Amino acid sequence: MGCQILQLIIVTVTLLISASYATEYIRPKPRQLLHFPWSRRSSTEPQQVHISLAGDNHMRISWVTDDSSAPSIVEYGTSPGQYSAKAEGESTSYSYMLYKSGKIHYTVIGPLNPDTAYFYRCGGEGPEFQLKTPPAQLPITFAIAGDLGQTGWTKSTLDHIDLCKYDMHLLPGDLSYANYMQHRWDTFGELVQPLASRRPWMVTEGNHEKENIPLVKEGFQSYNARWKMPFEESGSSSNLYYSFEVAEVHVIMLGSYTDYDEYSEQFRWLKADLGKVDRKRTPWLIALFHVPWYNSNTAHQGEGDEMMSYMEPLLYAAGVDMVLAGHVHAYERSNRVYGGKSDRCGAVHITIGDGGNSEGLARRYQTPHPEWSVFREASFGHGELQIVNSSHAFWSWHRNDDDEPVKSDEVWITSLASSGCLADKAPEFRKILLEP
C-alpha cells in the first residue's frame, strides 16, 4: 500500500513537471497606436534626426525643420561641444494632397574615422547629437527589425534594440505605417530619433511606403523624400534599390515593389553589383528586401514567388549568405536553401517582419512543416546578427515577452566563403553574372 502511494506521488510530480515544461508562451495581443501630441513647431529646431551611410567613410545626416529658411549645415567633431568640421548639404520638401512637409535636410559629413564617436549639431542650433561610426573590420553587429509601425510593441522592440550593443540597424521594409496620413511620417521620425540619430539606419521599402493614388500620386513620394539611401554611391538610379559595404560585409537592399524581371533596371543593376563583389574584401554577402521568398506562414503566401523566379539564380550564383525579409508579421528561419529545397550552398532566409505594427501577428502556418523551415513563431521581436570573423556569424532572435527581450532562437552560421561553395560556384558566377 505504502509502495502504491509512493508510486502515485512520483507519477503526479512527474506529470506536474512535464506540464510546466509544456506550458506555451501566451502571445500578447496587438497594442494600440501610440498617440503623439503632434504639432508644427514654428522654429528652426531640428526634428526627426536620422543617419545613414553615404559611401566610404561618410554619413548622411537628415532632419526636418518647420522653418524653410533654416540652413542645411552640420557641425561636428570628436569632442562634445567642439566642432572642428562643418558641412553644408541640400534640402527638399513635398506636398501630399492637403499636407505640406517641413524642410527635409540632407547633409553628408566626412571623411570620418571608423568605430569612432562623433558629436554633431544640425542647422547651427539646437541640441547636440552623438553618433558612432561602424568599424572598418569585423566583428560588426547588426540589429534587424522590419514592419515597425508606431505602437506600444514598436516602442518595446526599439527599447530592446537600445539595450543591445550594435553598430547598424537594418530594416527590410514597412517603416511608419503612415498609410497616407503624412503627419504619421513625422511622428515616426520622432519615435525613432533616439536610436536613428546614434547608429546608421539602412532601410528598404515595403508596401506601406508605396502610398500611390492612381492618376493622382505615384508611389514612394514620402519615403524617397524622407529616407534617402546611398543609391547614387552604389551605381543605382533609384532610391528603391542600392548596396553598401561595411566592415567586411557587402549588403544588397532590393525593392519588392519595383520592376525586377530580366529586362528591368533593377535586375541589370543587381547583376552588375553582384558581379563586382570581391569576397576577399567582403567575405560576407547579405541581401534584404520586403516580401519573403521562403515563407511557410499562410499570410502573404506566394507573394514573393515571381521576384524569386527572376532573382534567386543571381543571388545563388553570387553566393549570398543570408536573406532578411519582412512583410509577414512573424519570425521564421530556414536552412540554407535554393530552388525550394535545402541546399548547403544556398542562403539562410530569415523573415523578421515582427517589429510591432498595429496590424497584429500572422499566427497561421502551413502544414505539413516544409523541410527547409527550421524555426517559426508568431511573436513580436527583433534580430541581432554578429558577424564575428570571415567564417562565422552568430544570429539570434529576441522575442518581446511582455516587455522583456527573451532570446528565443539562435544559431551559428558558417560563411559560404569558408565552406568551399564559392569555388564550386565559380563557373556559374562567370556564366550568370559576368556574361552579357
State the residues that interact with Fe ion by CB under 5 A: 174, 206-207, 327
- Cα 180 to the chain's mean position, in Å? 22
Those residues with Cβ within 8 angstroms of residue 277's Cβ, 6 or more apart along the chain or in another chain: 250, 285, 318
- Closest separation between CB of residue 386 and Fe ion, Å? 27
Sheet bearing 47-53, strands edge to edge: 47-53, 59-65, 103-109, 90-92
Instruction: Rank residues 71 and 353 by Cβ distance to Fe ion and give the closer one.
Output: 353
Residue nearest to Fe ion (CB): 327
Grid coordinates belonging to 388: 564575428
- Closest separation between CB of residue 323 and Fe ion, Å? 16
- Closest separation between CB of residue 146 and Fe ion, Å? 8
Instruction: Rank residues 110 and 149 by Cβ distance to Fe ion and give the closer one.
Output: 149
List the one residue out of 412, 320, 405, 345 whose CA is nearest residue 374.
412
Those residues with Cβ within 8 angstroms of residue 202's Cβ, 6 or more apart along the chain or in another chain: 52, 53, 168, 169, 170, 171, 229, 244, 251, 253
Q: Please give the helix or strand (H or E) that residue 347 lies within, else none.
A: strand 347-352
User: Prior bond to 230 cis, omega within 30?
Assistant: no
Beta strands in 66-127 (DSSP E): 73-77, 85-88, 90-92, 95-96, 99-100, 103-109, 117-122
- Bin 390: left if φ > 0, else alpha if -120 < ψ < 50, else beta: alpha
- Closest separation between CB of residue 165 and Fe ion, Å? 29
H helix runs in 140-284, sequence order:
152-162, 183-196, 221-226, 265-275
- What number of residues does the chain have? 436
**Residue in this structure with the C-alpha cell 514620402, named with its chain if needed:** 222
- Closest separation between CB of residue 73 and Fe ion, Å? 36
CA distance linking residue 331 with residue 354, whole number of Å = 7
Grid coordinates belonging to 273: 553589383
Those residues with Cβ within 8 angstroms of residue 17's Cβ, 6 or more apart along the chain or in another chain: none
Characterize the bridge pairing of strands 140-144 and 90-92. Answer: unpaired
Instruction: Rank residues 123 and 173 by Cβ distance to Fe ion and give the closer one.
Output: 173
The DSSP-derived string for 253-304 is E--TTS--STTSHHHHHHHHHHHT--TTT--EEEEE-SS-SS--BSTTTTTT
Instruction: Rank residues 75 and 174 by Cβ distance to Fe ion and give the closer one.
Output: 174
Instruction: Rank residues 300 and 398 by Cβ distance to Fe ion and give the closer one.
Output: 300
On whether the CB atoms of residues 166 and 133 are closer than 8 A, the answer is: no
The yes-or-no answer on residue 300 being catalytic is: yes
Grid coordinates belonging to 100: 505640406
- Closest separation between CB of residue 172 and Fe ion, Å? 9
Map residue 127 onto helix, strand or coil: coil
Instruction: Rank residues 160 and 300 by Cβ distance to Fe ion and give the closer one.
Output: 300
Instruction: Rank residues 134 and 383 by Cβ distance to Fe ion and give the closer one.
Output: 383
Q: Which of 169, 250, 300, 327 is catalytic?
A: 300
- Closest separation between CB of residue 269 and Fe ion, Å? 23
- Closest separation between CB of residue 270 and Fe ion, Å? 21
Instruction: Rank residues 160 and 327 by Cβ distance to Fe ion and give the closer one.
Output: 327
Characterize the bridge pairing of strands 90-92 and 117-122. Answer: unpaired
Catalytic machinery residues: 300
